[in-house]
Structure 1
Amino acid sequence: ITEAESLNAPTIRAGRIPQDAPKLSLLFEDKNVQEESRVSKVAVTKKSFAYSRNRDENRRSNSFNRRSALRKSQDEDDEEEEDDSQPSNPFKTASERLKEDERKRLKGRREPSGSSGSSGKSLGGKRRFNPAASVKESCKKKQKSSREEEEEKERHPIFDDERMDHIEERMAELILSEILDSNVRVGWQDIAGLEFAKKSVMEIVVYPLWRPELFHGIRRPAKGLLLFGPPGTGKTMIGKAIASEAGATFFNISASSLTSKYVGEGEKMVRALFTVARCFPSDMKVIFIDEVDSLLTQRSENDIEASRRIKTEFLVQMDGAGNDPEERILVVGATNRPQEIDEAARRRFMKRLYIPLPNKAARRKMISNLLHDQKHSLTPQDLDIMALKTKGYSGSDVAGLCSEAAFGPIRSLSDIRNVDVANVRPISLQDFESALNGIRASVSDKDLQLYKEWNQQFGSF
């Protein structure tokens, strides 16, 4: 390379920028501008951080100063209270009197906030008024007082009796819930036949209520009445009639009402039952126990201890040494298995009435009573025929037969959705004859013979 060529060539060595490269120089200028902006941003960030740090330090110092001032004022208040507790000097200067008046004025301002009854506290231990908490507490007090008033109103008057002191209120409430409501009326006319049973119940329950002065001493009525016989003959209905017609307080008790899964609760329930009956404000109380054989079965060596204690307590409460012979409490038991009742319980049921199957006249009356609100075409002769054909039927069997015969006109309908009620045909004798094929007598002759034998041995009639 000659000297002229070297002079004319562009100089690019040693990192120097040629003069004919203006774009490259502008690029470096842009980099310098960016660097300067980044440095300025960093500087601004540092300044803002320093400002926020100084602000936080000022806040902390101000908070510390306020707390210190509050503590100092509290200490001064304590000192002032101590000074007030000490005997005051009657000789004071004008400035001392002014300071004392100022302290009393400030103290009077602080008392309302401290006596608000709120548990919230501010800095320095001073109480502050919380209106929401005070309103909540007042509402709770009102609710509590209203609840107590309702409980006092709902509380039964028998709990005021001294004899109820040893009875748990929970058990007494369970016994009171078993009282049968007298809104469901069952009269003596609803029971077909059983004239001797009705007469016995009238002598034991109704007549003593009408003329109590005639039934006392040796003439006082029996305290136990046992109704036994085949199932479905009207034993439970007699109990309902006692509740409706006699006007007595009727306790409808079952075995589940007196038993419990806890040991010792069963005999307590039995005691609560008789105590509630004695304290109840009524002239006559009737305790009706359906299926009494499940509760008072014969005692044996294989009995469970809890079951034995329940039986013993029941027998003691029925006829124990501490019972008043003049109290008007009648225990009525109904059972289908009288031979399984314990001997001591059998002795306490002085009246043992056999409720047999209905006779022809009673069955005819039952059919007539069951069809009185239904449209039928049965003549008196048809009723006599059905009374003869239902020999050996119990009362529940006769009711099932009438219900089955009443479905005869419904089964004869072709389109039940569009038929008019007035167009449904009446119940006929053919419907009863068809129902006899589906409804049979439920009591066998062998069972009837057992009832008759037990009645001859232990029955009252």
Structure 2
Amino acid sequence: MAAGTTLQKAIDLVTRATEEDRNKNYAEALRLYEHAVEYFLHAIKYEAQGDKAKDSIRSKCLQYLDRAEKLKEHLKKGKKKLVKESDAGSKEDKDKKSDSDDEDGDDPEKKKLQSKLEGAIIIEKPQIKWSDVAGLESAKEALKEAVILPIKFPHLFTGKRIPWKGILLFGPPGTGKSYLAKAVATEANNSTFFSISSSDLMSKWLGESEKLVKNLFELARQHKPSIIFIDEIDSLCSARTDNENDSVRRIKTEFLVQMQGVGNDNDGILVLGATNIPWVLDSAIRRRFEKRIYIPLPEQHARLVMFKLHLGNTTHVLTESDLKELSNRTDGYSGADIQIVVRDALMEPVRKVQSATHFKRVSGPSPVDKDTICNDLLTPCSPGDPGAMEMTWMEVPSDKLYEPPVTMADMQKSLSRTKPTVNEDDLKKLQKFTEDFGQEG
């Protein structure tokens, strides 16, 4: 996909659509109008600043949608007319038309399958930087080696030195495998990022699933440099057995051929897989993932960084020693577990406000404008506090509530309620797989 903002891409598509419309290529114009509107909606959501800009884009969208509806009606009428003519006996003309279509080489089935897969292309970037990923230095270096460096310094990767074509990220759930993939999508600006799940490639029609796999790789070759990210890859590429469904076996075979088969040029394409249960993968698939990186549970230092990242700019009174104590007490917790601990603790001030029977007046920054200091803000307190007034949160004006800070007691309460989700048995299996086939991340 061409570099540039989503809004600029939408404007370019609309310009092309109006040209096709003027040249009476109505089918192509309709496709471009619809595509442009999708980009405009992304722009409204992620790029447009201020209500005025958003309203302006919305009004334009309505115009283009209105024109697209008219073109759709016109094309439907044209098709009905064609059927009537064929009823009258113009079958010969129809045959000639189909022959000319074949000569043009436009395969409508191929276009239909590729349009299904275009929804897997990530248009808006997730905005996650390498610095947002705590720890996992080895995994980050391997991904930079495979994705960023070949784009920035192509002359480094010539001759026998070629970038990695397949990287498998495996480890316990909640350790940041999908999060790393989001960071790759953000950092690899010039690459097209395909985020694939099993539902994108599975079809009820016989033979269509393998064609979708083939078209996915063809689409990636057209848009290269490309990254194909397959989350929970074990659902697609588990070990082949004698009694498995024939259609499932064909999908796996097509996958193997496309990843590393005769006549398939995969230069500029990286296949990135993530799984929690790597031991169920087929051995041939495992071989095609040249780098197999274990994403372990976070270490003490990484857990400390995670607590800071998840607290963000929320008002709190936690000291560095408090955070170190929390990171020491969360040994065995995954990154997702730590996020839940912090989110639960962040809700404690809300619960205090909800259950409070008395409030007192304090000074502090206004909830509406942080630069303005107010002397009449209200915060929850105990009935015995000096200046305590009996009232509930319903009686507090919305712009006069002073947010109680998150305390160490809130964190400890949350920690006592939240247990780690990774068990010892799974960790032993992952360690064994790493010893046999992987490398530490």
Q: What TM-score, normalized by structure 1, do the two folds share?
A: 0.65
3-state SS of paired residue (2:430): helix
| Cα distance in 1, alignment partners of residues 406 and 32 from structure 2 | 54
For residues 340 and 183 of structure 1, the distance between their equivalents in structure 2, rounded to whole angstroms, comes to 32
- Give 1:332 shift: 0.4
In structure 1, the residue matched to 2:134 is: 192
In our comparison, the structure showing a higher alpha carbon Rg is: 1
For residues 180 and 147 of structure 2, the distance between their equivalents in structure 1, rounded to whole angstroms, comes to 12
Per-residue deviation, 1:302? 1.3
Does the Cα contact within 8 Å between 2:174 and 2:335 map onto a contact in 1?
yes
In the alignment, the residues of structure 2 paired with residue 418 and residue 189 of structure 1 have an alpha-carbon distance, to the nearest angstrom, of 43
Residue aligning to 2:411: 432
SS of corresponding position for 2:419: coil
Higher strand share: 2
Are residues 163 and 252 of structure 1, via their aligned partners in 2, closer, same or farther at CA, if it must alter by over 3 Å? farther
**Matching residue's letter, 1:457:** D
State the match for 1:206 in structure 2. 148
- How far is the alpha carbon of 1:417 from its aligned partner? 2.9
SS at match of 2:205: coil
1:416 match: 393
Partner of 1:452: 431
The alignment covers a number of residue pairs equal to 312
Superposed, which structure 2 residues align to 1:79-118 within 5 Å?
Answer: none
**DSSP-derived class of the 2:120 partner:** coil
Partners of 2:124 and 2:105 in 1: how far apart?
Answer: 27
Paired AA for residue 273 in structure 1: L
SS in 1 for 2:425: helix
- Name the structure 2 match of 1:364: 304
Partner SS, residue 417 of structure 2? coil
Query: In the TM superposition, what are the counterparts of 1:44-443 in structure 2 within 5 Å?
Result: 145=24, 147-148=26-27, 150-151=29-30, 153=32, 165=107, 168-247=110-189, 248-280=191-223, 282=224, 284-324=225-265, 327-413=267-353, 414=356, 415-419=392-396, 422-443=401-422
Structure 1 CA distance for aligned equivalents of residues 216 and 22 of structure 2? 34
- Of stretches 143-152 and 374-383 in structure 1, the one that deviates more from structure 2 is 143-152
Deviation at 1:181, TM superposition (A): 2.2
Partner SS state of residue 206, structure 2: coil
User: 1:72: which partner in 2?
Assistant: none
Alignment check: 8 A CA contact 2:125 2:185 kept: no
Q: Is the 8 A contact 1:393 1:442 kept in 2?
A: yes
Q: Distance in 2 between matches of 1:147 and 1:179?
A: 25
Range 305-314 or range 403-412, more displaced: 403-412
Unaligned runs of 5+ in 1: 1-141, 157-161
Report deviation, 1:246: 1.4
Computed over aligned residues only, the root mean square deviation of the Cα atoms, in angstroms, reads 2.2
Whether the 8 Å contact between 2:203 and 2:209 is mirrored in structure 1 is yes
Deviation at 1:209, TM superposition (A): 0.6
Distance 1:353 1:218, change over 3 A: same
Matched position secondary structure for 2:395: coil
CA contact (8 A) 2:126 2:185 kept: no
**Structure 1 position 361, deviation (Å):** 0.7
Deviation at 1:418, TM superposition (A): 3.5
Structure 2: any 5+ residue segments left out of the alignment?
Answer: 1-20, 36-103, 357-391
The AA in structure 2 aligned to 1:316 is V
User: 1:230, CA displacement in angstroms?
Assistant: 0.2
Mapped contact 1:233–1:395 kept (Cα < 8 A):
yes
SS in 2 for 1:225: strand
| Separation in structure 2 between the aligned mates of residue 273 and residue 155 of structure 1, nearest angstrom | 22
Tell me how far 1:214 sits from its aligned partner.
1.2
- Cα pair distance change 1:309/1:410, threshold 3 Å: same
| Aligned-residue offset at 1:433 | 0.6
1:216 Cα offset (Å):
2.4
Distance (whole Å) between structure 2 residues aligned to residue 404 and residue 242 of structure 1: 29
Structure 2 CA distance for partners of 1:234 and 1:418, relative to 1, 3 Å: farther
- Secondary structure, aligned partner of 2:342: helix
Cα distance, 1:261–1:416 mapped onto 2, change above 3 Å: farther
Determine helix, strand or coil for the equivalent of 1:269. helix
Q: Is the 8 A contact 2:346 2:406 kept in 1?
A: yes
Alpha carbons 2:164, 2:270 under 8 Å: kept: yes
TM-score (norm 2): 0.67
Q: CA deviation at 1:446?
A: 1.9
